[in-house]
A and B are shown apart, each in its own frame.
Chain A
């Protein structure tokens, strides 16, 4: 096809020159001899340009193709699937499940276990986030203190980051050992408060288990705050502190008028990320208490897991998954809005 197009212009050139002046035939011949390859070349270049432009247009897509495929197959398709599942009855187990509309959602939302899981999750998430924030702030400020030598700071920073290195199953087992009725925590408490306290059943008492699990999560999660806040603190200009010292500000004033406002964007990001992460905390709770005793530590994630893998109620599990997904999406939208506003 390329050839047939390229011949045409050279033929018209030939016809024109022939008709106009016969004397100039040899010259025109010469011209044509030169022109033909040139015309050909330019049209090939033209073709090339089009090909190149197409290639250029497609090039960025070529680079993102593998990732996009993965996103479609493992993110968008599963989300569509889980939404579909939530409107059918007995999915996965039966070959032809029947459409039941919102009835799965109705039975989830009226399930007292689900309400209990929401309360437990709220307790777990809110206390964890607040404690993470306070501990992270405190440790970051300690590590940033001008009273300490650099080497001291490095040693303590490594110790403080330690909990972050361990995987959830290690953390769960370790704290199960320590929270055992005959474990070291009870021994330390007795050593301080006297043996009258007795052997407290931290993880198997309905009134204490949720607090104990929350405590473990606090231990596991604060280093992330600490490191991020430390980076933020180091970014605050020293001039600000100097100016406030000149104005005679005391320590709390400096903290609330300078440090907190300067760190505000970091703190808001941290809290929002932590909300999403803590809502989905599964491994830690599952391995320490498995949601028990008697659902005392049942959170949304263990509720979904139990619906699916202990009761084989995949439709119910899907419906509750969709509810959790919606909540997390709402938080994420707030997060993105905040990020955009602060830019």
Chain B
């Protein structure tokens, strides 16, 4: 009797699991499938479950178009610079929060954390005029600086948490040997905190790679546009090039997808530490 009930429960669980997987995975499957179809087959009725004409023309088109490759180059450059700057700034700030007690510490901390509650769109108009005044409008720096503000709070929170778990004896050992605090930070603490740094770097990369609003409004010319804007520009520019848009979406998602698959554990640890424990 109990065994039979357990069997039912197991069947229900597996059925739900498969339904859920269809809900989560089918759109992704459809995207990849469509990217290999010719544009004429996209809205075939009934839809073709596997491309009748299998083609990689859409990918070839993108990879041979220097204008579209430029979107990728821009996205990589901006994202990697943001990751580097976020890491340096967040490590310095987190070290200070973790190892010192100083006047204004809690105020500064509160200001940094409060950024997470600020919707980017509310700062858009001042950013626009600031970027014009500082002659940064339509440059990489307009994107890098504004992205930094929104990647830093999480990075600082994470790094402070990591440094707090490390005993002070670690940096004191270096200082007794005559090293400075600064040296202790870079030669001992940073290497030890590597898992946390990897998580922060990936999360930051993802945020920067996926950003849309500032990329849309703070840049103007095609040579400054990033991948998310590039994908959107394919829409309605000259009729709908659906298979090309899908191919561009697949290519644009690959960096984050690979990061996620290879470093899943860090990602998940980072996500939960940032949202829940802090």
Contacts and interface: CB of A to CB of B under 8 A. Distances in A.
A214 interface: no
A108 interface: no
Contacts of A335: 117
A224 B271 contact: yes
Interface stretch (B54-62, B165-173, B254-262): B254-262
Interface residues on B, range: 35 or more
Nearest to A174: B31
Nearest to B134: A73
Interface string A247-283: 0000000000000000001100110010010011011
Given A138-B20, A173-B235, A180-B43, A67 B93 contact: yes
Contacts of B235: 173, 176, 287
Contacts of B181: 59
Contacts of B264: 158
Interface of A: 57, 59-61, 63-64, 66-68, 70-71, 73-79, 81-82, 85, 92, 138-139, 142, 145, 147-148, 156, 158-163, 165-170, 172-178, 180, 182-184, 187, 219, 223-224, 227-228, 231-232, 265-266, 269-270, 273, 276, 279-280, 282-283, 286-287, 301, 304-305, 308-309, 314, 317-318, 321-322, 324-325, 328-329, 331-332, 335-336
A160 B213 contact: no
Contacts of A163: 24, 27-28
B23 A219 contact: yes
Interface string B115-136: 1111111111111111000000
B126 A177 contact: no
A309 B127 CA distance: 14
Contact of B126 (A77, A168, A265, A331): A77
Contacts, number: 254
Nearest to A284: B212
Contacts of A180: 43
Contacts of A270: 275-276
A303 to B, nearest CB: 10
B232 A287 contact: yes
A223 B20 CA distance: 12
Interface in B251-273: 252-253, 256-257, 260-261, 264, 268, 271-272
B122 A322 contact: yes
B121 to A, nearest CB: 5
A134 to B, nearest CB: 12
A92 B129 contact: yes
